[in-house]
A and B are shown apart, each in its own frame.
Chain A
Amino acid sequence: MFGRAINRVAVVASAQTKLRDAWSNRQHVDLISEAVVGALKGSGLRIEDVDFVIDCGSDILDGRSISNCGFLGAMGAHHKEESRVEEDGLWGALYGATKIGSGSAEVGLVLAYSKPSESDVSAFYATQCEPFYQRPVGFDHAAACGFQAQSYLASHSLSEEVFADVVAHDWALAAANSAVELETAPTAGDVRASSRVAAPLHELELSRPVDGAVAVVLASKRVAQRVCTDPVWITGIGTAMDQHSFAMRERDSLPACAAAAEAAYRRAGMDGPEGASLAELSASSAATQLMVLEALGLADPGGAARLYSEGSDVALNPSGGSLPADPIMATGLVRLSEAALQLSGRVGHGPEGASSAIVHGAGGVGMQNHCVFTLEV
């Protein structure tokens, strides 16, 4: 068990900038420093207490190579141990928790940031596609999402109507979350009326790329109990990666996500997701969100849509999740921050009396990689 056999690790503080379509009046460094300063503020810890900094982003999205080198000052990483993880920020948290859990450090700052508005999201994903067989025919992330949706509906004889309900549910929650900038939340009808961009998916059934930054402070049990009355403990972590060739993967399910969840539950001493108060998920489309719920064990294969039509015991994406706000590369770490804030009661939109959470992050074309955390207070 991750939390008990070795040193326990807690999320003791976190903060994020507002997530919005474009922060076109601020640079990456401006967003990063706001998140880092926000996370430390009131945490009982200062930048001097931070033993290491792990940052997550994409050189391709940033438009410069080894972009972290230019952002060190804004991270507070001067002359500190600093590592870059070119993956979603939840893998940065995995790395940080592992360092602290092993006893090699006590306080870690994990941050992730994204400014997809400066770049072209489809070109970003296309660079991740295999260059001989995939890129020339026009295969990209949107196509992967479309294939997954088509396959999911076909396998379970479902109508495409199910997707719009998922989107409307999450956007309504995001509209109530002050961390997400939204003018209005679309209704299911609006979703179905949006243009088809990756058939059968409509534009609003794909996640909305947004700009933003998030920072999370992780600490050892000793430090957490000193600075925090309500540390949020990391009880389990699992990660798994599917094969690179999308055409050779399962398309109506996410077995790598299921493997990551199983590893996290096992380490937490859990038999499955039963008893979790909330789940914060990262999905690139409404279809893959349903598949994530099934992979996490929250629904049977093909049954996740009923969590929206009939209700769910586990609060799903109380923050709104990734569909209304997907700061690519930071999405999973936003989920961790959100879940921790909800468990510690520091934001109003978490379920009442929440005591445990499942956090999911993903990365790659068609969500090749998955990472799952379990948390408790």
Chain B
Amino acid sequence: MDRTTSASMEMRSEGLGTTPSEHPAFAGRIELPYKLTTGRAASVFLAELASRRIVGSRCPSCARVLVPAQDFCAECGTAAEELVVVASAGSLSGFTETAAGVLGLIRLDGASTDLVHRILDAGLADLQVGQRVAARWAEEAQGSVLDIVGFAADDAPAASEEVRPLSDPSDPVIEQPYRLRLDYQHAYGPYYGRLFDEIATSRRIQGVRCPRCECVLVPPREYCDTCFVRTAEWVDVADTGVIKAFSIIHLEFVGQVREPPYIYAEIVLDGAATRLIHTVGGIEVEEAMERLHPGTAVRAVWKDGEPVGTLEDIVYFEPVFDD
């Protein structure tokens, strides 16, 4: 059977120029846990909030009091090692309102710089540059800048501009947990779109042929990576192939989708010039270490039921041994 289809680059579900919402997208997420090192100045600033003290650092070059405390003065490039306590009230020097609520820039009494924080119990119409505000403290300290819940309007007159040296500091908060989470809706584009459509509708894997080097590229793409010429022809490739390289994964890591141990392999499908990364299964790890080699033949094991149109429709590739 001639499995080569000459194609006119017709896009199945991905017709160019139509409105965005018609196109299915691939939902992706990046999620990473961090243990962030706070550094000297922030570690003390965060710890002192439990004692309801706001800590700044004094630059020895320009003598400004930087609040919240900074390890270096960004203007002088000098280490600002002297830690001081400033007032927990001050005046408002700027404000805005976003989806996060009303935010203010606050010049605490004794500070030379502004601090950004939440403004409580006030709409924008109530705010004026220069008005007095004071910190509202959380009931229970967590070692976070949110131990100050925010700043609210305050009638008390300005305290002395004098700053006090930091005495009897608490144990510093040297680390803060942080979890990054980013969500994506990735476009398939015309080439991946057709590849996955073909998998979903007919369990057929397609690549494109480069007219110059004649390589068949899987996944398909508009330009040949090595020749930088436009690929011109859609080609069916087999769901059988050979292992080019493989590794048995025992490591556990964040974002892992399979439980180790499992076999990761680069597979060249019959009819393709490129290596597809997938897994090898249907064989015990011990046996795989003995019997798998570059050149071992494999075939796709398709998932039961309706394919959905991803490479996960192939559960794994199983080795095909001559004996």
Contact: A142 with B99, CB < 8 Å?
Answer: yes
Give A122 to B99 CA distance when docked, in angstroms.
10
Residues of A within 8 A of B23 (CB): 24-25
Give A82 to B101 CA distance when docked, in angstroms.
43
Contact with A along B95-123 (1 / 0, CB 8 A): 11111110101000000011111100000
Contact: A247 with B105, CB < 8 Å?
Answer: yes
Known A131-B176, A154-B129: A143·B182 in contact at CB below 8 Å: no
Residues of B within 8 A of A73 (CB): 221, 223-226, 228
B297 lies within 8 A of chain A by Cβ: no
Give A138 to B182 CA distance when docked, in angstroms.
16
Give the nearest-CB partner of A199 in chain B.
Answer: B97
CB-contacts of A301-333 with B (<8 A) = none
B218 shortest CB reach to chain A, Å = 13
A118 lies within 8 A of chain B by Cβ: yes
Known A26-B16, A247-B114: A199·B182 in contact at CB below 8 Å: no
CB-contacts of A161-191 with B (<8 A) = none
Residues of B within 8 A of A248 (CB): 66, 74, 113-114
Give A110 to B187 CA distance when docked, in angstroms.
24
B20 lies within 8 A of chain A by Cβ: yes
Known A198-B98, A199-B124, A244-B74: A139·B184 in contact at CB below 8 Å: no
Known A133-B42, A136-B145, A137-B103: A27·B116 in contact at CB below 8 Å: no
Contact: B189 with A198, CB < 8 Å?
Answer: no
Give the nearest-CB partner of B189 in chain A.
Answer: A27
Give A21 to B21 CA distance when docked, in angstroms.
11
B3 lies within 8 A of chain A by Cβ: no
CB-contacts of B30-83 with A (<8 A) = 30, 36, 38, 42, 45-46, 66, 68, 70, 74-75
Contact: B186 with A118, CB < 8 Å?
Answer: yes
Give the nearest-CB partner of A141 in chain B.
Answer: B98
| Chain A: number of interface residues, binned into ranges | 35 or more
Contact: B186 with A63, CB < 8 Å?
Answer: yes
Residues of A within 8 A of B137 (CB): none
A102 lies within 8 A of chain B by Cβ: no
Known A115-B187, A137-B145: A63·B182 in contact at CB below 8 Å: yes
Give the nearest-CB partner of B124 in chain A.
Answer: A199
Give A189 to B30 CA distance when docked, in angstroms.
40
B25 lies within 8 A of chain A by Cβ: yes
Known A73-B225, A197-B99: A131·B36 in contact at CB below 8 Å: yes
Give A60 to B184 CA distance when docked, in angstroms.
10
A224 shortest CB reach to chain B, Å = 22
B144 lies within 8 A of chain A by Cβ: yes
Known A142-B99, A151-B94, A199-B96: A24·B187 in contact at CB below 8 Å: yes
Residues of B within 8 A of A72 (CB): 225
Known A27-B188, A30-B190, A132-B176: A138·B95 in contact at CB below 8 Å: no
B178 lies within 8 A of chain A by Cβ: yes
Contact: B116 with A63, CB < 8 Å?
Answer: no
B261 lies within 8 A of chain A by Cβ: no
B302 lies within 8 A of chain A by Cβ: no
A246 lies within 8 A of chain B by Cβ: yes
Known A47-B228, A76-B228, A132-B176: A198·B187 in contact at CB below 8 Å: no
Residues of B within 8 A of A74 (CB): 221-223
Contact with A along B142-158 (1 / 0, CB 8 A): 00111000100000000
Known A26-B187, A136-B144, A137-B145: A78·B225 in contact at CB below 8 Å: yes
Contact with B along A103-132 (1 / 0, CB 8 A): 000000000000101111011000100011
Residues of B within 8 A of A33 (CB): 222-223
Which of B30, B101, B118, B189 has the most C-beta atoms of chain A within 10 angstroms of its own C-beta? B189
B140 lies within 8 A of chain A by Cβ: no
B185 lies within 8 A of chain A by Cβ: yes
Residues of B within 8 A of A244 (CB): 74
Contact: A143 with B225, CB < 8 Å?
Answer: no
Give A143 to B225 CA distance when docked, in angstroms.
42
A294 lies within 8 A of chain B by Cβ: no
A215 shortest CB reach to chain B, Å = 13
Known A29-B221, A73-B223, A78-B226: A60·B20 in contact at CB below 8 Å: no
Contact: B94 with A147, CB < 8 Å?
Answer: yes
Contact: B228 with A78, CB < 8 Å?
Answer: yes
Give the nearest-CB partner of B97 in chain A.
Answer: A199
Give A38 to B319 CA distance when docked, in angstroms.
45
A199 shortest CB reach to chain B, Å = 4
Contact: B103 with A139, CB < 8 Å?
Answer: yes
Residues of A within 8 A of B193 (CB): 25
Q: Which of A24, A25, A120 contacts B182 (CB 8 A)?
A: A120
Give the nearest-CB partner of B18 in chain A.
Answer: A25
Give the nearest-CB partner of B185 in chain A.
Answer: A118
A344 lies within 8 A of chain B by Cβ: no
4 pairs of A and B residues whose beta carbons are closest in the complex = A138-B100, A146-B96, A73-B225, A27-B189
Known: A23-B187, A63-B28. 10 other contacts (CB 8 A): A25-B15, A25-B193, A63-B30, A63-B186, A73-B225, A74-B222, A76-B223, A133-B116, A147-B95, A245-B113
Binding site for B on A (CB under 8 A): 21-27, 29-30, 33, 37, 47, 60, 63, 72-74, 76, 78-79, 115, 117-120, 122-123, 127, 131-134, 136-140, 142-143, 146-147, 149-151, 154, 196-200, 243-248, 251
A-B contact pairs, 12 of them (CB 8 A): A24-B23, A25-B11, A30-B189, A30-B190, A63-B182, A73-B221, A73-B225, A118-B186, A137-B103, A150-B94, A245-B70, A248-B113
